[in-house]
Amino acid sequence: MRAVVVHGAGGIDLLGIGEIPDPEPAVDEVVIDVVAAGVNRADLLQRQGFYPPPPGAPGTIGLEVSGRIAAVGAEVEDWSVGDECCALLAGGGYAEKVVVPAPQVMPVPHGLDLVSAAALPEVVATVWSNVFMTAHLKAGETLLVHGGSSGIGTMAIQLGVAHGARVLTTVGSKEKMEFCTRLGADVAINYKEAEWASVVNEATHGAGADVILDIMGAKYLTDNVKSLAYDGRLVVIGMQGGAKGELDLGRLLSRRGSVIATGLRFRSVADKGRIIAEVVGHVWPLIAEHKVRPVVHSTFPLAEVAKAHETLEQSTQLGKVLLTL
């Protein structure tokens, strides 16, 4: 089958199309004929040599796909050949076929096209598991989302609003501010033109944010802790701003705050299955009711994978970038 291959580790010039063996399912796995695959920042890190797949996972890049079931393992009961689906992967998505454990496969939400469904698994599983299952965001609380125009950011804004939270977000341009406001954010802050922590303090009348979803890591750690409400929860899911920072424990103690760092790719199949079950139960109805939607910025054919990575590296996108087969 055709798949994206990486000739070494480094820039987008190392990406190419090659032939790799077709996958075969284990007894508890399915094979999916891929229609579209999501492009994520983790994919860029893997291409650069910084984020290898977990042991036993396919070495091909790609953490989420949509498509149709092509084969099922002997012990799989809930899926049949031909079923349309989308799936959360540990790797392997940039290919014509991918093998995945059955608990990580989801039906396509009612009313959504198959290509757009590829924009869902990674971002919805990330947002739901962190903002709701871990940080327990409740109606009436304030959610601060860093990187609001990203795939994760656009989903976090919408889910926060759908669950009755007040949503603040940081972005890097006026266009992105306006876009996030249209998605439902109450306050959008251009971090290039304002001290975002001061704006958060002003917008919350000094109360701070109950939940902060952070992709920046070290660079934002001090201001994130400063911006926590009493009993606030800071959830760190990325390190775009560095891995090591100084933590003000005095401030954290005074706010009874929590700092939580999580990852999704290296979780067990059982853990991912629990997340997927909650996503289907809680988020899919919101998509069917048009209260939440995947935001797709652009699609590229598989052969133009370098352009897809370049788009993400430039950070100009509004929502998700997809590859189509």
Determine whether 303 is exposed, middle or buried from the number of CB atoms within 10 Å of its CB (0-12, 13-18, 19+): middle
Alpha carbons within 13 A on the beta-carbon side of 127: 29
Over residues 45-66, the pLDDT tens digits come to 999 999 999 999 999 999 999 9
- pLDDT in the model for residue 44: 97
Q: What is the mean pLDDT of residues 120-132?
A: 98
Q: What is the mean pLDDT of residues 98-123?
A: 98
Q: Locate the domains of the chain by residue range.
A: 2-120+288-324, 135-261
- pLDDT in the model for residue 213: 98
Q: What is the mean pLDDT of residues 105-117?
A: 98
How far, CA to CA in Å, does 179 sit from each of 83, 167, 172, 175?
34, 14, 12, 6
Q: What is the mean pLDDT of residues 83-96?
A: 98
Q: The domain 2-120+288-324: what is its CATH number? A: 3.90.180.10
Over residues 5-29, the pLDDT tens digits come to 999 999 999 999 999 999 999 999 9
- pLDDT in the model for residue 221: 96
pLDDT band with cut points at 50, 70 and 90 for residue 89: very high
Residues 6+ apart with CB under 8 A from 267: 275
- The one-character DSSP state at 304 is G
pLDDT band with cut points at 50, 70 and 90 for residue 244: very high
- pLDDT in the model for residue 60: 97
Q: The domain 135-261: what is its CATH number? A: 3.40.50.720
pLDDT band with cut points at 50, 70 and 90 for residue 320: very high
- pLDDT in the model for residue 78: 94
Report the distance separating Cα 156 and Cα 45, nearest Å: 22
- pLDDT in the model for residue 12: 97
Residues 6+ apart with CB under 8 A from 28: 73, 75, 76, 101, 102
Chain-wide mean pLDDT for the chain? 97
- The reply to whether domains 2-120+288-324 and 135-261 share a CATH topology is no
pTM above threshold 0.75: yes
Over residues 266-306, the pLDDT tens digits come to 999 999 999 999 999 999 999 999 999 999 999 999 999 99
Tokens of 83: 């079923």
pLDDT band with cut points at 50, 70 and 90 for residue 185: very high
Report the distance separating Cα 198 and Cα 135, nearest Å: 23
List helix spans (H) across the chain. Answer: 41-48, 114-117, 121-127, 151-162, 174-183, 196-203, 218-226, 249-254, 269-282, 284-288, 305-314
pLDDT band with cut points at 50, 70 and 90 for residue 135: very high
